[in-house]
Structure 1
């Protein structure tokens, strides 16, 4: 009887560990953020200046190098979105709703919460508590009050 109980306990523990692992946050790594709005359906990209330094953001083709990001967890559900081709630069936003690239320091203006709601990802900015939004059919990138039903704030 003891062997059966031990075997059952081992099986239940293994199952619990497996289920627990499937709900954990993803690890650091390369990502592409494609907007799901049917009028947009292109990816968040960073724009380089004349010298090749990331300094702004725009929507771009999902296969372009500018659409590559390095997702770095900085504790809990807080993430830095680093330019994949120059990880010294991070996606940054301020209270004026502007979003651009700035040299990474890891401050709250560069931290994002990745929230999976209604089957899509929403990037909520830590300092402003607003969500990343593709504005004007993808012509601009801003942060706005979070609307978890707005397709232009949904990413995959």
Structure 2
């Protein structure tokens, strides 16, 4: 009986830990709600939306979600590059992806909405946006549309 209760208690914890971003430090993917493209960042600093295929260029579209003490997250990819929001420009640059070891340009708030996650830059307050054809940028206005929501 006690063993069954322990297993039953562990299942909800497992579901929370794997339910997506903002739940725990770990690897995530960000897929745009409207375009279906994944947020990718290459070793040369380019950030774009692109189709992702399992086993192909996974370092480009998988992000390590590292929480900071201010409630923000670092998004570092398999190339050890952090996602940066410099007003409208979004790119990657070298970073120390450990907790509290990045600057505010490299930090993002992950805000849950009814239509997906909103990624808001810590320094600028601008929202990560997808142009719909692979172009990624940040927008000063949250239009609450599917171009600005990620899952």
Alignment TM class, shorter chain as reference? 0.7 to 0.9
Matches within 5 A, 1:100-119: 100-105=91-96, 106-119=102-115
> Would the aligned equivalents of 2:115 and 2:146 in 1 still touch at CA under 8 Å?
no
Choose between structure 1 and 2 for higher RCO, CA contacts under 8 A separated by at least 6 residues: 2
Specify the structure having the higher radius of gyration (Cα): 1
Matched, 1:153 2:148: yes
CA distance in 2, matches of 1:107, 1:148: 26
Match of 1:91 in 2: 83
Alignment: residue pair count:
125
CA distance in 1, matches of 2:124, 2:70: 18
> Would the aligned equivalents of 1:28 and 1:72 in 2 still touch at CA under 8 Å?
yes
Show structure 2 runs of 5+ residues with no match.
1-11, 17-21, 97-101
4+ runs deviating over 4 angstroms? none
Deviations 1:97-147 (A, max 9, x none): 100011115100000000001241000001110100011x23311110242
**Which residue of the other structure, out of 126, 133, 137, is the alignment partner of 1:138?**
133
Q: Shift in Å at residue 148 of structure 1?
A: 5.2
TM-score by length of 2: 0.75
Q: Secondary structure at the match of 1:48?
A: coil
Matched, 1:125 2:118: no
TM-score by length of 1: 0.72
CA distance in 2, matches of 1:112, 1:126: 5
Show structure 1 runs of 5+ residues with no match.
1-17, 50-54
Structure number having the greater strand percentage? 1
> Would the aligned equivalents of 2:43 and 2:79 in 1 still touch at CA under 8 Å?
no
